[in-house]
Chain A
């Protein structure tokens, strides 16, 4: 019975995706070209990386939520670009930016665990602080003119699959998926998420796990910032805008419970693919991007409602 409902959830996502595809097939036949397939994946990289981090944060429970991811994407992208503009070679600038993302994420984690504060209010504060910093430090202007060689990862493709999808998103997903499902650490994350008190009683380092999860979310956001730099050959202070809303929606749409402890990465990735094809499709239909924001809001609320309904049906 339970598995049947789980299938309905994934099936539902599939049906939504197919409906979207049919609509695009009718109204925008160009949607099904290799070039467009490529651009769907291009777009999805940022969101996929951020969503994988967000999923772990939500999974680890305790009201886990990271609203600051968009700001981290923008900020670390800017750090990398700024370093490179001052002549720092890419192989130093890129790790420095990723480190910066890790630090920003761990700030969230430490404040939340050390002071036992609600993640939503802490990351709301850092959401404004990080986004604001990205805008204020640059005065709102992008840092552009990165060397063309830096576009190696972000601009090349193999068989219409962007290089960064192959060398970054897929490996990161596989490693995380393996860790989550096959190693004790993964079990711990589920344990902490589903019953914090029990996890503490059996001696799991709950706080350390949570700090780790927020740090990882920061690192993945920074990788997204790096990819954005490489793709656009410039760092925009608002590149991460709305990524918190999108990643949270993808996480919940993918079947991870907002209360933590159940769900997984596969669903999140499926939701990301759904979102990006929607985004690209709507763009081809010349639908204003502000509509997408409204649509995402509806999806966010809808997916939690759906989750509720499935849960009550399961218990009956």
Chain B
């Protein structure tokens, strides 16, 4: 029992083991899987998702959800693309994505806090609006063939460490500080755990939510900057499925959709596992059209597994059963 709890009680460890197991299976099926080239490809493809998942982890921790991030990423990417085309100063090119992203995040927060609209409805509505806006802004044609002005921002390495890895570590470090060491972090978890109790104990729910959605927007905006720097074009499908991928990664990472919990390291491993799976299935010859099915099924599977383990935990500790039942009744 104790070794099991030690091994499976820590989400990051379980996930790391899962990553190794998945990698082993794919290596068995396709010798190309564990080559340095492919591993670098997987890590590179994880960059934007890592940023968005960090934001989504915060959002989920407040018992919220944001499915408009894909559309927001597309809009931010368009602005970044325009700024490159317009030859803006580098600082502005870097800042425009996060600025637009933060503004869009604050729009979500405004609807959720001031309009008291459930997050799923607000962000589903915005998702439709953003999709339309992307078509409108692009006018039906892609932004493509951008000059490689932003290349250095993603291709540079410092002492052998890629700059993109430093961005990721920087943002996750900030996230960790916020969630672990700053009163705001407690406010975030308290809001998700029990919003009414948090309000009664003096937490400013509105401010907390504004921060969470705004921060997510900022990360989405920076992800858009990295996207444009890497691919040097913006198409109408930019951002596409990233909302689902990010939710899956966060939930895989041990963040509950019911709020109150945030696991940043877990989210990182969650992203890795999602991208490993997506890459591996393509390598063994599964058409990429299956990606949606696999990711959706993964989400359902994790939710079911989590619910089942939680239930068996509750049953193995009879003294806490009363609490568990009361908890259910109040939901």
Chain A residues within CB distance 8 Å of chain B: 65, 111, 115-118, 120-122, 124-133, 135-136, 139-140, 197, 242, 245, 248-249, 252, 258, 288, 290-291, 293-301, 304-305, 308
Contact = CB atoms under 8 A, between A and B. Distances in A.
B316 to A, nearest CB: 18
Contacts of A115: 303-304, 307-308, 311
Contacts of A122: 300, 303
Given A121-B247, A136-B292, 13 more contacts: A115-B308, A121-B251, A121-B303, A128-B244, A128-B292, A258-B121, A290-B131, A293-B131, A297-B127, A297-B128, A297-B129, A305-B117, A308-B115
B106 interface: no
A139 B303 CA distance: 28
A111 B295 CA distance: 17
A170 to B, nearest CB: 29
Contacts of A197: 329
A129 B296 contact: yes
Contacts of B116: 308
B297 A129 contact: yes
A110 B180 CA distance: 37
A125 B244 CA distance: 8
B310 to A, nearest CB: 9
B288 to A, nearest CB: 9
A127 B296 contact: yes
A111 B289 contact: no
**B interface residue count range (under 10 / 10 to 19 / 20 to 34 / 35 or more):** 35 or more
A290 B133 CA distance: 9
Given A116-B328, A301-B117, A304-B117, A124 B303 contact: no
A305 B110 CA distance: 12
A89 B308 CA distance: 42
Contacts of B294: 132
A301 B121 contact: yes
Identify the interface centre among A130, A248, A288, A290: most chain B CB within 10 Å of its CB.
Answer: A290
A294 B131 CA distance: 7
- 6 smallest A-B Cβ distances: which pairs? A294-B132, A297-B128, A132-B292, A128-B296, A129-B296, A132-B293
Contacts of A293: 128, 131-132
A94 B292 CA distance: 27
Interface of B: 65, 67, 111, 115-118, 120-122, 124-133, 135-136, 241, 244, 247, 251, 257-258, 287, 289-297, 299-300, 303-304, 307-308, 311, 328-329, 331
A291 B125 CA distance: 13
Contacts of A136: 287, 289-290, 292-293
Contacts of B130: 297
Contact of A128 (B121, B127, B295, B311): B295
A124 B298 CA distance: 12
Contacts of B244: 124, 128
A128 B124 CA distance: 15
B51 to A, nearest CB: 21
A295 B131 CA distance: 11
A247 to B, nearest CB: 12
Nearest to A295: B132
B126 A301 contact: yes
A304 B257 contact: no
A116 B306 CA distance: 11
A121 B124 contact: no
Contacts of A125: 296-297, 299-300, 303
B307 A117 contact: yes
A258 B136 CA distance: 30
B121 A304 contact: yes
B300 A129 contact: yes
B300 A301 contact: no
A8 B237 CA distance: 40
A83 B22 CA distance: 36
Contacts of A129: 292-293, 296-297, 300
B247 to A, nearest CB: 7
A135 B289 contact: yes
B298 to A, nearest CB: 8
B65 A120 contact: yes
Given A297-B125, A298-B129, A124 B289 contact: no
Nearest to B301: A125
Contacts of B251: 121
Contact of B247 (A117, A124, A297, A299): A124
B115 A305 contact: yes
B115 A304 contact: yes
Contacts of A297: 124-132
A301 B122 contact: yes
Contacts of A133: 293
A140 B304 CA distance: 29
Contacts of B136: 290-291, 294
B289 A116 contact: no
A290 B135 contact: yes
A294 B287 contact: no
A301 B115 contact: yes
A126 B124 CA distance: 16
Contact of B125 (A116, A139, A290, A301): A301
Contacts of A245: 124, 127-128
A196 to B, nearest CB: 9
A121 B299 CA distance: 9
A121 B127 contact: no
Contacts of A124: 67, 244, 247, 299
A126 B299 CA distance: 9
B273 to A, nearest CB: 16
Contacts of B296: 125-130, 132
A121 B293 contact: no
